[in-house]
Structure 1
C-alpha cells in the first residue's frame, strides 16, 4: 500500500499521490500520460483526475504499478473489471505489472485457435477469473528472460504450454517448448516467433496476423520523440546484434501495432512503422546515443 506520509513533494495537491517507493517503470505514465509524469527519477501526479475517464485511467495506473506506490486518500475508486483492458478486438493489456519483471507490460490474446499470454503479469485472482471466463490460456509466449514473472503459475493453473528461446531458457526451466536459432518460427497459423538477439541473447518478438508485434524489450514507441526506439543502456547481450536483428525486420515484417514490454505502445500504418524502424536502425548503426529517450520514457 502506498504511504501518504512518504508522498513525493512534486505530487499535485489532492487525494491521488505517488510515494517514494516508485521504481520509475513508466507503467502509470502509459496508462494515464496526462495525469502522471516523471520527476526526479520517479512518477508523480501532475494533476488530479477530474472526469470519469481520467478516474478510470488513474485507477488502471494504480493497478498496474508493480511497487504499489500509487495511493488515494479518502474514498477509494472502483477497481473491478478494469483489467484485462481490451486495446483492440481480442487483444488485451493485462495490467497488474509484476516487480519480478521490473514492471513490464504483458498482453492476453483471445483467438479461436487458442488464447495466449505474452509475458506475465502478477498471478492475481481478478486476472485469473477473467482469463477463465474468456476461455483460459493455451500458450504462454515469453519474449526474453527478464519478463517471465509468474508464467509458471499461470501455466500450472491453465495447463498451458510455455514458449521461450533456448538461449534464455535458464529463466524458465519448466518451459515446455523451445524456439531455436534465428529464423522465424510458425507457432500456429497467423502467429510467428521472430528471434531478435540483442537485448538478451534469446530475445524474441511475436507477430500476430501481420498486425500485432509483441516486442518485449527489443523495441518500443517513444512518446516524447514520436518514433520507434530501443533501450541502449538496458542492452544486456549486444547492441550491434540488436541493430542487425531489427534491420532484418525492416523489409520482411508487416505490423500495425507495437506492443512493448517496457516503453510505449502505438498503432500506426505499416508504412509509418517501416520508415521509423529503418531510421532507428540507421541511428543504432551510426552510434547515435538513444539514452535521452530512455531517461524520459522509462527507467528500470
Structure 2
C-alpha cells in the first residue's frame, strides 16, 4: 500500500494512494515470458510479498510454472491478471485481420488462452488489436476487430472474465491498428452495445509514440479499465521504440512530471481501475532495480499531487 505524509500547517496528514497498484511481472523479469520456473518463483515471490502491489500481471505461463506459483499468489491475497499482448505483438496473431482465416485463427488462440486464464481463477485478460494494415484497409480492419472482440467478449461473459484492449503505437515500433485513443473508444463503444465486459488500457509509455498526453483520457473516461506507467525509449537516431526502459535510463522519454500529470487527470475523471508499472531491465541491470526505481517515481509523483491540492 502506498501513502504519503503531507504537512498542512501544524498537522501531518497521511494520504493513501486512491488506486490499486499493479505490475507487469513478465516485463519486470523477462525470463518469466519463457515460463522459466525458477524465474517465475523468484519474481512472483518478491512481488507478492511486496506490500506496495495489489495486482500482479502475468503472462499465460506453462502449466508447470503456474502450478508452482499459484500457491504463492493465493496465499498473498494479491489480484492476478493475465497479459496476452505477446500473442498479438510478438507472435503476430491478428484479431483485426481482414483475412477471415487469419482473424479466426487469432480468435481461436485468444479464446483458448481466455479459457485457461478463467480455469486458473483469473478475472481480467489484456491483449492488443493486431497489426495495422495501413490507411487503405484500416476501416475494414476495425470492423474485423469489432467482430473478434464481440466473439471474445461473449466467451468472457460466460466465464466471468473481463477483456482489456491496450492501445499501442501505430507508426514506430509495434505498429498496431489500435492505436489512437479516440479510435480505441469508437471500437469499444461499439462492442459495448452488446457486451459490457470490455474496457481500455492506456499506457503512458506509448503516449509519446501516439502524440498523446494524459488529457486525452478525458475523452475515454467511460471506457478505461487499466493504466500502465512506463517509458518509451528514444534512440540516438531519433527513432522511438517500445522497450519500456526504467525511468531515467538513457533515452527514456517519460519522467516523474508525466506521471504526476497522469495522476491528476485520473483523479479528475474519477478513474477507479488499477495503475500499474510496465518497466523492463536493460543490459547490466538487475530486474529489481527497475521495479524499485518505478516505485520511487510513483511515490514522488503522488506526493506532488497531494502537496498541491
Q: What TM-score, normalized by structure 2, do the two folds share?
A: 0.31
Higher relative contact order (CA 8 A, sep 6+): 2
Q: What TM-score, normalized by structure 1, do the two folds share?
A: 0.32
Structure with greater strand share of residues = 1
Structure with greater helix share of residues = 2
